[in-house]
Structure 1
Amino acid sequence: MAEGNSQPADTTPPTDASADASSPDYLKIIANHREELLTAMKATDWVETKNKDGIRITYRMTDKGKMFRCEYEVDASPKVSIRYCSPAKGPLNGLREKFRKSALKSVEIIEETEKYFITREVLGSAMMGLISERDLICVYGWDTETEDKGAYILHPSIEHPKYPPKDKPVRAIKHAGGHFFFPVEGNPDKSNVVVLIVLNMGGMLPVSVVDSFQTGAMFDFATQWKDAAAKKFHESN
């Protein structure tokens, strides 16, 4: 898997939040996160937990918690596929909320530049109320065409002074979050998708509830995405 085309942080003209010298180096956070996830993909200790309808979900233990991995093929090129997991309000002309049937209640963009954007995302209650409302603060970084004609979009959690954690909603932490897209050999208009996530839901939740929620959410998203891409949802949106 080749390196992407993202430029080092010190070559990016300061804009918006990046103009503040005290602001975190979000591009470095994204670059480090990408290397972490690419390394995880090469691990050999993945354990299968679900394999159905062309969607395979595995997991492995990390020092930050259980990492889930979901793999499948979609009927869209990497450059198009990236739109399916990007917020509709973001700079990538995203489609996520337009086709996704989920508990995602709202997405607010806190900061936006040409290289990254930061969101506050609120998840409604799930699993018949066993999981109450959560929110996440995430930074999104991406490359729509890497050297191997693939793409990626990463979205780990960060802290942000505008939205410190409160009692309600419960603050969830995405220790790892990313979508990687690789062109299908012989058919560049299709993509092999690899999704990686380590999510701490916060609160006093049993591990079995969190694992069930995460596996179900990933499988449902993949199913809806495959169906939307097969219907060329992106061509009319």
Structure 2
Amino acid sequence: MDPAQAEQAGEQVAEKLLWYRRDPAGWKTCREGNAVTVSWRPSVEFPGHLYRGEGVLSGSPQQVWQCLKPGEGGLREKWDENVSSVEIIQSFSDALNITRTTTPSAAMKLISPRDFVDVVLVKKYEDGTIGTNATHIEHPLCPPKPGFVRGFNHPCGCFIEPVPGEPDKTNLVSFFQSDLSGFLPQSVVDAFFPRSMAEFYPNLQKAVKKFCS
């Protein structure tokens, strides 16, 4: 993939995520607690759900970003129980990469290990927000590999937002809509994502305190 194609794909995802962020219609709360709210609405990308998480974390946006920054050997592999490894397949710049992310088995091993190949674009906005924008992509250097079911991330990512007047706080809004593929009962998928997203926030908070304070 050439840089222009990758950037175009990333920018298209960024536009969609901004729309998700600004569009209040149709969200239904499915999990709430520990200052985290998880909502969903039908995805327009595939026959599944678009999930949204929101919560305020203790730590500056830059500290939170250090724990979320995609890259090989980064902090994400150390604290996120749903990420086994992140591999850079092709790098165009610090802000634009093709990545392969592997995930461990989950839901008492009902969900076997997955891998996801994505174009990832990092954007920084004028108000200080840092946004990650990702979607699945086919790449000749990363065909399906034994031991993993190839999953597909539809437009997903997060907004790491400053909290006005509170420099040591961060509002994190995250969006996930992943096709896990395989032959999974829909009930397993529908139970996994809200629980996983709700756990993501306190785990990230612990990581910020441990690695970035």
Query: Which residue matches 2:202?
Result: 223
Q: Deviations over 1:156-211 (max 9, x none)?
A: 21111122335741110001211102111211332111000110000111111012
* Paired residues of 2:76 and 2:83 also in contact (CA < 8 A): no
When normalised by structure 1's length, the TM-score is 0.81
Query: Which residue matches 1:33?
Result: 13
Change (3 A) 1:122 1:49: same
Q: Tell me the amino acid that sits aligned with residue 112 of structure 1.
A: S
* Paired residues of 2:17 and 2:133 also in contact (CA < 8 A): no
Q: Tell me the amino acid that sits aligned with residue 65 of structure 2.
A: I
How far is 1:56 from its partner?
Answer: 0.4
Query: 2:57 aligned with 1:77, yes or no?
Result: no
Query: 2:152 aligned with 1:173, yes or no?
Result: yes
State the superposition RMSD in angstroms: 2.0
Query: Which residue matches 1:60?
Result: 41
- 2:176 aligned counterpart, secondary structure: strand
- Pair member with larger Rg: 1
- 1:69 aligned counterpart, secondary structure: strand
- Aligned runs of 1:69-218 on 2, under 5 Å? 69-89=52-72, 94-100=74-80, 102-114=81-93, 115-143=95-123, 145-165=124-144, 168-218=147-197
| Alpha-carbon distance in 2 for matches of 1:180, 1:171 | 26
Pick which of 68-77 and 23-32 moved more: 23-32
Q: Tell me the amino acid that sits aligned with residue 60 of structure 2.
A: S
| Alpha-carbon distance in 1 for matches of 2:113, 2:64 | 28
How far is 1:148 from its partner?
Answer: 1.2
Q: Tell me the amino acid that sits aligned with residue 212 of structure 2.
A: H
Q: Tell me the amino acid that sits aligned with residue 156 of structure 1.
A: T
| Alpha-carbon distance in 1 for matches of 2:54, 2:207 | 17
- 2:197 aligned counterpart, secondary structure: helix
- Count of residues paired in the alignment: 209
Change (3 A) 1:76 1:48: same
| Alpha-carbon distance in 2 for matches of 1:107, 1:185 | 32
Change (3 A) 1:147 1:24: closer
Query: Which residue matches 1:9?
Result: none
Q: Which runs of 5+ in 1 are unaligned?
A: 1-16
| Alpha-carbon distance in 1 for matches of 2:169, 2:75 | 17
| Alpha-carbon distance in 2 for matches of 1:109, 1:152 | 19
Query: Which residue matches 1:3?
Result: none
